Each structure stands twice: as structure tokens, then as C-alpha cells.
């Protein structure tokens, strides 16, 4: 779908699918020099299996949506199965998650996605789910302490767009575009709602980390808390670009009461090119 901003058409959509993540980003991409270590996003103690976060959003096909998420598991054996057990309101079904990458601490990140969810665009939709991990003949669950996770989207949905697990910060949207006067990079960020002294910034590069820049994000609003655990704060960052860089790579830093959490796409950073949107 094309979006028109001023005189520029954003002509390409990058979805969050695992193949797109793997194909678009270089796993060996360097972290910003001179910055804090870009640890995997968020806080929280994992066990054998733990949701990082999931999100739902409407796609550009009218009346359809997408449900995606990331899961951390203990790498207890080579053969394993990671499944998301979910319902859209009646029948329970399974989504098989796919291996994404290994991370320190003998952990792995797995990714899942459900495309083409039909819904009433004037009413929204919701999904209830839990994560099941089977390894070495044993089955482990992350079911949000027995409550299940809830997320959804739409104007009258009863769940927040993000379901938080181990993570407390996540990129929702980013684009590289142009208006009448300048080229720019912008980003929309969600953080798990918390009281205290907090700030969000984008650490980015226009030249493959030869130089590093920062853009402070502005607080926008607190998202509605329909389920008691999904409430989020929404932030927006904007940065003009010098010249016409081939792409912009970036990571997100969220500081809460002096402690920093990062969303850096699990150590690989995010990358957007001219005219592209990442959701």
C-alpha cells in the first residue's frame, strides 16, 4: 500500500515476519561505538520459556490484521517445539513459532506470526494466548501466571496493542521519508507503563556506525489499560537526515529511574531505507 506524505509516496511495507527480519538485517552489524552496551531488550527473569512481547495491528488490506511476537526459551536440547496456543474468542488453535537467533545465557529467541486475521474494522478484535515449550519430553508453559496474555487492535478492542512479557520497550513503527523541506527518519515507540522518571531516545547512524547520533523521543500519551497488565506509554521520535544516506540503522533506549533497557532487534539493530516503513 502506498502512503502519501507531502510529495513523497512511501511505496514499500516491511512486515515483522521472521524471514523479513533475517533477510533485511545483518546479524553481525556493529553496535554504536562509545554507547552503552546494547543488551537484549527489556527486563525480567525468564525460566524455561518466557514471552518477550507480542503485538497486534491492522494491515493495509481492509478488515485484516496481524498478530506477532517474540519468545525466549532455554536451549535445553537441539530438538524442541515452541507453540503459541491462542483463541480469537471461541476455538483454541496453535501457531508454531520459528527459531530466530541465539542470545547469551544459553537462550534462544523464537518468533511467531499469524497473518490475514479477518475482523470488523469498526469493532476491532482480541486474542488470548499462552506459550507452550516442549523439550526433552517435558512441557513448559508461560501463561502469564495463569491469566493468559491478551492483546488486540481496532477502535473498540478490549486489549492493548502490545502484550508485555519480559520486555518493557518495543519499536512499533519506523520510516525513512521526505517532506517539502528535508529528508527525515521517525519512529513510534511503546513502553510498558510505569511511574517514575523516564525518557526514550533513538541511537542511530546514517553511515554504518562510523558516526552515531541521538534523537530524544517525545512522550505522546498513555494507551488505554483494558486488561490490567498491558497499559503502555507511547513516544515519538523525529530526526532530520543529512544528505541522502542509503539507509538508517537504529536502536531504542528507554531509561526508567536511572536504569536503561534497549530494543535493538535482539542485537542486530533496525534498518530502514528511503521510502520504507517498518511495522
Tell me the pLDDT tens digit for each residue of 44-62: 444 899 999 998 776 655 6
Question: What pLDDT, on the 0 to 100 scale, is given for residue 101?
Answer: 94
Percentage of residues of the chain with pLDDT beyond 90: 42
Instruction: Look over the chain and give the mean of its residue pLDDT values, rounded to a whole number.
Output: 78
Higher pLDDT, 94 or 181: 94
Question: What pLDDT, on the 0 to 100 scale, is given for residue 19?
Answer: 28
Q: What is the mean pLDDT of residues 21-40?
A: 34
Higher pLDDT, 191 or 35: 191
Tens digit of each residue's pLDDT (9 = 90 or more) over 58-94: 665 566 678 899 999 999 999 999 999 999 888 999 9
Q: What is the mean pLDDT of residues 22-38?
A: 33
Question: What pLDDT, on the 0 to 100 scale, is given for residue 9?
Answer: 28
Residue 184, φ and ψ in degrees, nearest 5 = -150, 160
User: Of 14-18, 160-164, 219-223, which gets the smallest average pLDDT?
Assistant: 14-18
**Which residues make Cβ contacts (< 8 Å) with residue 111, sequence separation at least 6?**
18, 21, 68, 69, 70, 71, 97, 98, 100
What predicted TM-score, i.e. pTM, was given to this entire model?
0.78
What structural domains and CATH numbers belong to the chain?
3-42+168-278 (2.60.40.2440), 49-164 (2.60.40.2440)
Question: What pLDDT, on the 0 to 100 scale, is given for residue 243?
Answer: 80
Residue 140, φ and ψ in degrees, nearest 5 = -125, 150
Tens digit of each residue's pLDDT (9 = 90 or more) over 228-241: 567 889 999 998 88
Question: What pLDDT, on the 0 to 100 scale, is given for residue 17?
Answer: 29
Tens digit of each residue's pLDDT (9 = 90 or more) over 103-128: 999 999 999 998 777 666 676 778 89
**From the CB of residue 53, how many other CB atoms can be counted at a distance below 10 Å?**
25
Contact 176, 273 (CB under 8 A): yes
Contact 155, 124 (CB under 8 A): yes
Amino acid at each position: 500500500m502506498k502512503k502519501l506524505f507531502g510529495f513523497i509516496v512511501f511505496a514499500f511495507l516491511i512486515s515483522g515476519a521472521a524471514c523479513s527480519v533475517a533477510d533485511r538485517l545483518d546479524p553481525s552489524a556493529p553496535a554504536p561505538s562509545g554507547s552503552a552496551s546494547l543488551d537484549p531488550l527489556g527486563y525480567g527473569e525468564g525460566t524455561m520459556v518466557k514471552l518477550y512481547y507480542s503485538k497486534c495491528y491492522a494491515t493495509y488490506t481492509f478488515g485484516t490484521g496481524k498478530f506477532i511476537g517474540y519468545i525466549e526459551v532455554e536451549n535445553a536440547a537441539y530438538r524442541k517445539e515452541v507453540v503459541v496456543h491462542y483463541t480469537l474468542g471461541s476455538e483454541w488453535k496453535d501457531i508454531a513459532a520459528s527459531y530466530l537467533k541465539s542470545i547469551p545465557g544459553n537462550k534462544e529467541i523464537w518468533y511467531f506470526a499469524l497473518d490475514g486475521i479477518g475482523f470488523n474494522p469498526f469493532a476491532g478484535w482480541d486474542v488470548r494466548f499462552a506459550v507452550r515449550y516442549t523439550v526433552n519430553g517435558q512441557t513448559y508453559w508461560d501463561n502469564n501466571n495463569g491469566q493468559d496474555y491478551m492483546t488486540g487492535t481496532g477502535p473498540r478492542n478490549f486489549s492493548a496493542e502490545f502484550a508485555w512479557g519480559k520486555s518493557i520497550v518495543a519499536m512499533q513503527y519506523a520510516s525513512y521519508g521526505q517532506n517539502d523541506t528535508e529528508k527525515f527518519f521517525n519512529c513510534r515507540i511503546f513502553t510498558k507503563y510505569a511511574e517514575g522518571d523516564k525518557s526514550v531516545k533513538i541511537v542511530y547512524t546514517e553511515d554504518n556506525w562510523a558516526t552515531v547520533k541521538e534523537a530524544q523521543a517525545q512522550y505522546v500519551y498513555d494507551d488505554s489499560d483494558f486488561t490490567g497488565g498491558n497499559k503502555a506509554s507511547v513516544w515519538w521520535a523525529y530526526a532530520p537526515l543529512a544528505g541522502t544516506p542509503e539507509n538508517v540503522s537504529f536502536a531504542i533506549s528507554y531509561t526508567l529511574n536511572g536504569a536503561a533497557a534497549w530494543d535493538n532487534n535482539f542485537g542486530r539493530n533496525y534498518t530502514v531505507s528511503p521510502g520504507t516503513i517498518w511495522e
